[in-house]
Amino acid sequence: MGVWLFHKERGVIEDELKKAKQRKGISKEIKKLMTEIDIEVKKLADIFRLVLKYKMIFRGKGLEFYGLRQYEEGDDAFMIDWKATLRSNPSREISKLYVKVFEEERDLDVMVLLDASPTMLFGTGKKLKCEYASLIAGAVAYAALESNDNAGLIMFSDRINVFIPPTKESSQYYEILAALVDRNNWCGKKDFSAALDFAVKLLRGETMLFIISDFINVENGWWDKLKLAASKFEGVLGIMIRDRRDIELPKGAGYYRFKDPITGRVMEVDVDKYADEYKRKALEEIKMVEDGFHKAGVTLIKYITDEPFVKPIVHWLDIWAAGRGL
């Protein structure tokens, strides 16, 4: 698959990208992110096509009667229109069955709620946490659009830095990637509860919400807001992204100078002296986040930035679909 082939209507999206290039050019950052998503995304897109495009969660609601067609093997028997079948077989010797065909009035919104606070601007491996998070966010958006569903993005800190409402417009993928690579969007402090409030109030119930954060320095009480989100939306998945140095400091490293990305405070620390305590507190914080997601009844997937991300998300989608009889 080439760099531009990110949508089943790829001719349309190519035209949009060409227009964007003519207007202001496609930055090398967007091209790089597109290429990485292209490498990673195929398997994720396949499962989205199965789970989202053929979603049964809308059966019986939000559907408009379209017409009748002859019954085919594998059709749901509950969809047989017996009155129409009897009318078409006046002798009462039924030789043909007819089923109702419905047209879906509503699509599923796939929204990424992405932590854009300064703690995400850290990394000691090949990728910063914000780069790894952008790769996941872009892949999720692509998979949703590939499935003909709506995709959108919320980037938050202690305020809403970016809100791109969900749509399936051909330019949406480019708009989301442009927001992800814009350094000006990665700023502020962190208020997870306020971000959840924003999502719950503004987004409709037919939403699958992907929450991406390192969950470092999150305030207490956010699990009640998460529980409210889980009760409103069709699906919610938490994705924790950590760098290895978020969890464990290198022993034998001597003195290091550390800067708090939120307060700006700088300290010089003997790493060997505090390495064990640092790891203990980091694991306690991760456990606190896990417990909060468990209380809310929401799955949390954990990643280190040098790990592949597609397989665990696909596994969760399989479980999510199975729970809805797909």
Return the pLDDT at 8: 34
Residue 4 lies in a domain: no
For residue 151, give both structure tokens: 């995709």
Q: Which amino acid is at 293?
A: F
Provide Rg for the chain, Cα atoms: 23
**Collapsed DSSP state (helix, strand, coil) of residue 96:** coil
The reply to whether 94 and 24 lie within a common domain is: no
Cα distances (angstroms) measured from residue 296 to each of 47, 59, 292, 302: 25, 26, 6, 17
**Collapsed DSSP state (helix, strand, coil) of residue 134:** helix
Q: Is residue 154 left, alpha or beta, with left meaning phi > 0 and alpha meaning psi from -120 to 50?
A: beta
Residues 6+ apart with CB under 8 A from 270: 254, 255
**Collapsed DSSP state (helix, strand, coil) of residue 300:** strand
**Planar angle of CA 45, 303, 315, nearest 5 degrees:** 40
The reply to whether 95 and 176 lie within a common domain is: no
Return the pLDDT at 18: 54
Return the pLDDT at 167: 93
8 A C-beta contact, residue 303 and residue 240? yes
CA dist 120 and 172 (Å) reads 24
The reply to whether 296 and 168 lie within a common domain is: yes
**Per-residue confidence in pLDDT tens, the chain, 326 aa:** 222 223 333 344 445 545 555 545 678 888 888 888 877 777 777 777 656 654 544 444 445 565 677 777 767 676 777 777 777 666 655 667 777 766 554 578 999 999 999 999 999 989 999 999 999 999 999 888 887 789 999 999 999 999 999 999 889 999 999 999 999 999 999 999 999 999 999 999 989 999 999 999 998 889 999 999 999 998 999 999 999 999 998 877 777 777 777 777 888 877 788 888 989 999 999 999 999 999 999 999 999 999 888 888 888 877 776 765 55
The reply to whether 34 and 171 lie within a common domain is: yes
CA dist 149 and 49 (Å) reads 9
CA dist 291 and 243 (Å) reads 21
Q: What is the DSSP letter of 49?
A: I
The reply to whether 159 and 280 lie within a common domain is: yes
The reply to whether 139 and 80 lie within a common domain is: no
Return the pLDDT at 80: 78
Q: Which amino acid is at 247?
A: I
Residues 6+ apart with CB under 8 A from 10: 4
CATH number for the domain that contains residue 124: 3.40.50.410
Instruction: State the pTM of this model.
Output: 0.74
The reply to whether 78 and 199 lie within a common domain is: no
Return the pLDDT at 93: 59
The reply to whether 15 and 128 lie within a common domain is: yes
Number of domains in the chain: 2
Helix, strand and coil in the chain, % to nearest 5: 45, 20, 35
**Planar angle of CA 128, 130, 133, nearest 5 degrees:** 110
Residue 18 lies in a domain: yes
The reply to whether 114 and 169 lie within a common domain is: yes
The reply to whether 168 and 192 lie within a common domain is: yes
Cα distances (angstroms) measured from residue 40 to each of 1, 26, 36, 45, 47: 11, 21, 6, 10, 13
8 A C-beta contact, residue 180 and residue 137? yes
The reply to whether 295 and 153 lie within a common domain is: yes
CA dist 142 and 110 (Å) reads 10
The reply to whether 245 and 132 lie within a common domain is: yes
Residue 73: domain span: 63-104
